[in-house]
Amino acid sequence: MKRKTLTQFLIEQQREAGTLQPQLRLLIEVVARSCKAISHAIGKGALGGVLGSLESENVQGEVQKKLDVIANEMLLEANEWGGHLAAMASEEMETIHLVPNRYPKGEYLLLFDPIDGSSNIDVDLSVGTIFSVLRAAETASGADVSEQDFLQAGQTQVAAGYAVYGPQTILVLTVGAGVHEFTLDREIGSWVMTDTNIRMPGGKREFAINTSNARQWSPEVTRFIDERIAGKDGPIGTDYNMRWTGSMVADAHRILKRGGVFLYPRDVRQPGKVGKLRLMYEGNPMAMLMEQAGGAATDGEQRILSIEPSSLHQRIGLIMGDPAEVEAITTAYRE
């Protein structure tokens, strides 16, 4: 069977399916090239001087890894000159990055988490990059773009995806017409389609959660997890597996391909914060991918993609995966 590259797929979506605008196709190709460069940097590890932490903190108050900053710069530099963007926002930056005046402006907004799971970098575990694409308001172009233009509900996204840097480098993408997977062929430098129209398997007895936070969980989450840990002897009467890598991209990818449910719920550690994950850089793009694959995503009370964001770095609780499991925890919150 003839192998289909990412470029071929995108051109088909543009010409035949009519689901992709030319500027959006170019934007996705540039993001994919950036992920390829990030993969190369990660692959060098200590040999490339990308391991370890810096003395700086990001806007979230988190100590930055060297690769956080390197990947952030790679994505900014690769995307600012192509003419398809009006502005960008990153989990690593306090405010938005406007396209410099010397470059043409486009009609899209790009948001990204340059390195998800960066605590895994130094111990050679999987990390990833997450991205989301929004359409800029017709009245906003160039210097007129503000943070407010980014504060759109996730259901307005025109594309979302992530890269997993693991044993293979994988790019998972949706442009609103299903979820498709591409694997980087390092010998020829191309993204090659390895799965298409991905549908999340239902009924898989597996969950992903950081159990070290159990003492801070709400009673609803505690009961949900306790029932599954009890297995055959508990009220559900079925044994479950638990997996957790500390990289949401890796954990979510496993859920997307194998089924089950991922939980990073809000907890009581910091009353002023309703969760740890970021709505704009993690929740929205992952929720779009999950829904496109037949899954569901909620903060425990409402659909992620329906949340109207209030700030660029808004935090949320996130529960996503098998619709039946997501509904079970949502029902517990509701009751």
Q: How far apart are CA 111 and CA 89, in angstroms?
A: 5
| Residue 164 in tokens | 């997993």
**Is 91 labelled as part of a ligand binding site?**
yes
Q: Where are the alpha helices (DSSP H) in 168-276?
A: 219-229, 248-258
Q: Is 242 helix (H, G, I), strand (E, B) or coil?
A: strand
Q: Please check if 116 is assigned to a binding site.
A: yes
Q: Residues 180, 9: contact at Cβ < 8 Å?
A: yes
Angstrom distance (rounded) from CA 215 to CA 284: 27
276 a known binding residue? yes
Q: Binding residue per annotation — 307?
A: no
Angle at the Cα of 95 from the Cα atoms of 23 and 290, rounded to 5 degrees: 55
- Is 48 assigned to a binding site? no
Residues facing residue 193 across a β-bridge: 182
Spacing of C-alpha 34 from chain mean position: 15
What CA–CA distances, in Å, run from 225 to 66, 75, 212, 252, 279?
Answer: 35, 38, 13, 18, 24
Most distant CA pair in the chain, distance: 66
Measured CA to CA, the distance from residue 279 to residue 334 in angstroms comes to: 21
241-242/315-316 β-pairing: unpaired
Query: Is-contact 24 83, C-beta < 8 A?
Result: no
Q: What is the Cα–Cα distance from 91 to 249, expressed in whole angstroms? A: 15
Tell whether 118 is in a known binding site: yes
Which residues are annotated as part of the binding site for substrate?
116-119, 210, 276
Which residues are annotated as part of the binding site?
91, 113, 115-119, 210, 276, 282
Which residues are annotated as part of the binding site for Mg(2+)?
91, 113, 115-116, 282
